[in-house]
Amino acid sequence: MAPRNRGAPRWLCSAPMPTALTIVTGASRGLGLALAEQLLARGDRVLAISRQAPALCHERLSVWHADLAEPAAAARQLGAWLQAVGVDGAASVTLINNAGVITPPAPLAQTAAADLARAVRVGLEAPLLLSAAFLKATAGWTRPRRLLMISSGLGRRAMASAAAYCAVKAGLDHLARALALEQALEPNGARVVSIAPGVVDTDMQLQLRSADGAAFPDRANFVGLQAKGLLSSPAAAAASLLARLERADFGSQAIADVRDD
Ligand SMILES: NC(=O)c1ccc[n+]([C@@H]2O[C@H](COP(=O)([O-])OP(=O)(O)OC[C@H]3O[C@@H](n4cnc5c(N)ncnc54)[C@H](OP(=O)(O)O)[C@@H]3O)[C@@H](O)[C@H]2O)c1
């Protein structure tokens, strides 16, 4: 008897395909907001963490209000949340440690202790604790895991009147190097990169241009960069970062700069 032509296979029921999950700190404005917008546009589920909410509304966007100068609670919450999402809840999982602050540019001894402490907590302690919670909660996940630190050229090239910021970004780079070594020993280790995003037209650049020139010898350089049209838009910088994240060799080098693309 001739075999019956059954036609194309039919799926009687199918589970929804899990989407990529990306956590972005500092997504309320600047580079982080552009990253969140583009991640949502490409279909990711996004968890945005900052003090203010991003001016975005989307069914795949979750927003947490958190002051990352006190990061322990946010890190605990992130770990619990990822465990609830579970290994099958996402096609890939990525943490982008983007939030950062620069102190008012001035020599270290003329900078308020509270400003110095906040810059280090938001820029380095928070990425450290959030990364630890992320890596622990997703340790058994079989899908791709990625960790992206938003660093700065100033983590690699020192500048006067920005000592705390330079130290934070150098620390973030070295955190990425050490984590990349640790994760390379794991069965599905996270791929870890600390990347400098270039000079981006955000509030942070405005803060540098508006600084007191007497306390900040490099102020004119930042004014000149803007005058010559050399700042990238947050959207362009975010697109470069997300393209980098999708590259097959993402994580092969722990330290990167979008200007090398
Ligand atoms: N712009 C540049 O040229 C440039 C160059 C190199 C590197 N970067 C790096 O790129 C990243 C983004 O910078 P940006 O230029 O987009 O800066 P931005 O416009 O000043 O935005 C900073 C973001 O960090 C968040 N943030 C600040 N303090 C926070 C806190 N205590 N708790 C939680 N979130 C906090 C802010 O959210 P809330 O205020 O709502 O909390 C905001 O979303 C930073 O890591 C920065 O160092 C920027």
pLDDT one-digit tens code per residue, 8-66: 333 334 455 679 999 999 999 999 999 999 999 999 999 999 999 999 999 999 999 99
Q: Beta partners for 23? A: 47, 95
Q: Is residue 14 part of a domain?
A: no
The reply to whether ligand 1 has any atom less than 6 angstroms from the CB of 69 is yes
Q: CA–CA separation, 227 vs 69, rounded Å? A: 33
Contacts 24+ apart (CB under 8 A), 63-70: 68/25, 68/26, 68/99, 68/121, 68/122, 68/126, 69/117, 69/118, 69/121, 69/122, 69/126, 70/121
CA distance 175 to 183: 12
In Å, what is the CA distance from 121 to each residue of 116, 124, 158, 159, 243?
9, 6, 20, 20, 29
Instruction: Dump pLDDT digits (tens) for 234-244.
Output: 999 999 999 99
Q: Is residue 251 part of a domain?
A: yes
Q: CATH code at 132?
A: 3.40.50.720
The answer to the question of residue 254 being in a domain is: yes
Residue 6 lies in a domain: no
Domain contains 5: no
Tally of structural domains, the chain = 1
Q: Is the pLDDT of residue 210 over 50?
A: yes
pLDDT at 16: 59
For ligand 1, whether the C-beta of 30 sits within 6 Å is yes
What per-residue confidence (pLDDT) applies to 69? 98
Residue nearest to atom 23 of ligand 1 (CA): 26
The answer as to whether 207 is a domain residue is no
Average pLDDT, the chain: 93
Assess if residue 100 is contained within a domain. yes
Contacts of 1 (CB under 8 A, 6+ apart): none
Percent of the chain with pLDDT over 90: 92
Is 126 touching ligand 1 by the criterion CB < 6 Å? Answer: no
Is residue 162 in a domain? yes
165 labelled catalytic = yes
**Residue among 116, 154, 194, 200 to mutate when testing ligand 1 (max atoms within 8 A of CB):** 200
| pTM score, whole prediction | 0.95
pLDDT attached to residue 9: 31
The one catalytic residue in 134, 141, 165, 222 is 165
- Is ligand 1 within 6 A of the CB of residue 197? yes
Residue-range definition of the domain harbouring residue 124: 21-198+234-260
pLDDT score, position 18: 79
